[in-house]
Amino acid sequence: MDRLLKLFRALFGLCFITLTGLALSPAPYLPLLDIFNWWDKAQHAIGYCTLMVTALLAYPKTSKLRLAALLGLHGCLIELLQSFSGYRFGDWQDAAADGVGVLLGWVLGLMFQSLIFSKFEGKSGLIDLPSPQSETTNEHPKDDAAVTSSAVSAATVSSSSKKAN
């Protein structure tokens, strides 16, 4: 489990540094500001979705709300720093796309958390399957009680007959 957490933390750190570096580096091509570029917004959402998923996997005991707030703040800070850079432009729509990515990552991250970490906690994954023993006791409780009482009766009769001999 510790090795898995270290792997997820390394992956999160790599994603965080890469996304921050790409967001603050000069871009050879910048689209016009008056055009709403869907692909640009999708890239922001995908990047922050990836960050949120890896953050949830890397820090499973940390508050999900705290992780989401910090990543959303990071997206806003990146846009602010871009506006001061002179070679990039900060855009509130990019910050909004970052927030959408964080929310999407929250949902996906919770699903991945339950699939991955429940394996280590002895659960089966998203759906906890009942054990075969609990299925038999839950299906026919009257039959189980009858079997138990007849087994007790048989054991009593057996011990009585041994004492008589």
The predicted-structure confidence for 29-41, as pLDDT tens digits, reads as follows: 555 555 556 777 8
Same domain, 6 and 72: yes
> Does residue 126 surpass a pLDDT of 80?
no
Q: What is the pTM of this model?
A: 0.65
* pLDDT class of 63 with cuts at 50, 70, 90: very high
For residue 160, being part of any structural domain is answered with: yes
Which residue range forms the structural domain that includes residue 156?
132-164
Q: Mention every residue, 6+ apart, whose C-beta is less than 8 A from residue 97.
A: 40, 41, 42, 44, 45, 48
Total number of domains constituting the chain: 2
The pair of structure tokens assigned to 71 is: 């990543």
